[in-house]
Amino acid sequence: MRIRTVSIAVAAALLVAAVARAEALDLKRYMPYPEVQPGMTGVGKTTLEGNTIVEFQLKVLACLKNYGPKRNLIIVRLSGAGLEQSGTVAGMSGSPVFIDGRLVGAVAYAFPWCKLPLAGIQPIEQMLRVTDQVPWVRGRPVETPGALAGALAPPRDELVSVPVASLGLPDVPAALAGREFCDMQPIRTPVMVSGFSGRAMERLRESLAPFGMVPMQGGAADARTAPEARLEPGAPLAVTLVRGDIQMTTMGTITEIAGNRLYAFGHSMLGAGDVDLPMMTGVAHAVVPSVMNSFRLGAAAREVGRLTWDEETGVLGILGNRGAAMVPITVKVIGPGKGRERIYKCEMVHNRLLSPRLAASTTGNALTAESELPLDHTVSYRVAVKPAGRDPIVRENVAVSPNGDVYLEGQVRNVVGLVMENPFSNMKVESVEVQAMVEAGSRLAEIEEARPLRNAVRPGDTVPVELKIRPWRAEPTWTTVQVKVPADYPEGACRVTLCGADEALRQEQRDAPARFRPEDADSLLESMQHGERRDQLFVRLEAPGAGLAIGREELPNLPATMRAVLADSARRQVTGVAGALVTKQASAYILTGSRQVEIVVSRKAPEK
């Protein structure tokens, strides 16, 4: 018990010392939540065009206690700077608001479809807690840095409701009923995207929607004409997701700068806690008013540090020269016209939530950046994802219309996602390289019919099987496949399945699930390498006997008594293994569907 007491004392001393080393905040600058009262008026700062920080006015309508889990919210009505026409603007998140010259918090929430410029203010003390700093105790500012570890003053007990008349709720069409339009929500985070096709933008919007991000077409800042970006409260803050030939940048507003710490947004970006993202100054192009959701166009300017923490009440960045870790992506596209070659080079953030989505979107966009894919197309691709300190994971295969780009996106997202997020080891990705060759015309074909030309065969002989194959948008054709029966195959009925790679993989997963259940990082990477070319015909002979797998170790063709003993034992992860003899033949088509035929294996069968 004494050892534990000493350990706690040492930990407490280290915590106080660490907090004391942090630069003290000028607490006189801030107005804590308990001091804010309905009816108070103040001003806010934001940037709507260029680098000019403008002021807008606000009136406090209500102070909502415990709006979120142990979090409060201030409801205000905005005016000035054109906000009567636009309402709250996506990109204003983080705009600081002041009452009596003291910083109260940041514009962070809005009512969807609201007719009036109403906003939810994230109290400043809740934003400052992003760094575990609690600068108020019982409503009074703390005088010494060491006391920052004290408890936050409890807010006032009363809950003031928002006057219904002030909400100005719109008449919502029946088609929008049930979409939570009465809930105040974090202001959406605009993502300025450049170098993207319209088709890829639609899928990017779907991919980023769970994070409250709204991708929109925008260009990069022109260094020759763009005004010099500012680094102060009210100025735009850009967080780069992808940069290079393709760019994606989120935009918000700086709330406060204290020493080398920068606070912004007033709500989460990903809500992921510890992050490492490039933090940049930005410039605003223009505000686009919209009944549904007004937004600010802008672009990133100069890197000034890293975003290091992201939670519900805001984001924290550290100013300095140290840059965030980035992952290089190279996408090489050949075709579809005259073998034309295009290379796109960029780098993306290293983030377990975003990187798989960004790598996939970047890849799919490269295929359609200059023109849509032909209505009928075939894409031959090679994806190489290199985990840190390991050999690259390589997938080479073929995708076909109507959505070859979507299929390729799925492959990239799957590999990058499994490397970065798996039960064994969250490995870092060093690089992503994709090569894709697009050709006009789909090589898709369906297996429609199969019939053996002989019903009986001797062990060791072959039996011809005719396949009816229907190519995409073409007349069916017949082809003959020679099915080899092993010399040691027992006499009796034999079922033969003829199918494409996708169906063969499904059957293998069903027959031998242990092969697809990794036990550690090495077996995971090994299983990720497992994959068959889709331009092959698979011939599966149902093998006699059955076995078991203990973990990943397969024991095929076990006697029935042995199978029963092992299956009833206390061993874990005992699964069945069904045997199959598989041969592969190259095909001009990517085959779908499967057909089965049954033949008789007999030593008395007529000779071929």
CA distance 441 to 422: 38
Label residue 128 exposed, middle or buried (CB < 10 Å: 0-12, 13-18, 19+): buried
- Residue, of 418 and 290, whose pLDDT is higher: 418
Q: Report the pLDDT value the prediction gives residue 604, as an integer from 0 to 100.
A: 83
pLDDT interval class at 491 (50, 70, 90) = confident
Residue 100: pLDDT over 80? yes
Whether the CB-CB separation of 108 and 187 falls below 8 Å is answered with yes
Check pLDDT > 90 for residue 409.
Answer: yes
Lowest mean pLDDT among 172-186, 376-390, 514-528, 586-600: 172-186
Who wins on pLDDT, 215 or 16?
215
- What is the model's pLDDT at position 24? 62
Express each pLDDT in 235-263 by its tens digit.
Answer: 999 999 999 999 999 999 999 999 899 99
What average pLDDT does the structure give for the chain?
80
Q: What is the pLDDT of residue 316?
A: 94
Residue that wins the pLDDT comparison between 287 and 255: 255
Question: Which range has the top average pLDDT, 78-82, 163-167, 522-526?
Answer: 78-82
* 51-55, 346-350, 485-489, 500-504, range with greatest mean pLDDT: 346-350
> Average of pLDDT values for 149-168?
32
559 preceded by cis ω (within 30°)? no
Residue 49 has which token pair?
Answer: 């065009």
* pTM summary value: 0.78
Predicted local confidence at residue 182, as pLDDT: 62
579 band by pLDDT with thresholds 50, 70 and 90: low
Over residues 508-534, mean pLDDT: 80
What is the C-alpha to C-alpha distance for residues 182 and 200, in angstroms, rounded to an integer?
Answer: 32
Measured CA to CA, the distance from residue 310 to residue 330 in angstroms comes to 29
- β-sheet bridge partners, residue 77: 59, 118
Q: What is the average per-residue pLDDT within 472-496?
A: 90
* CB half-sphere exposure, 584, CA atoms < 13 A: 13
pLDDT number for residue 383: 96
Nearest-angstrom CA–CA distance, 385 and 51:
40
Ranges 56-65, 137-146, 347-356, 440-449: which has the least confidence: 137-146
Q: What per-residue confidence (pLDDT) applies to 126?
A: 92
Enter the tokens of residue 380.
Answer: 């031959």
At residue 14, does pLDDT exceed 50?
A: no
pLDDT of residue 23: 56
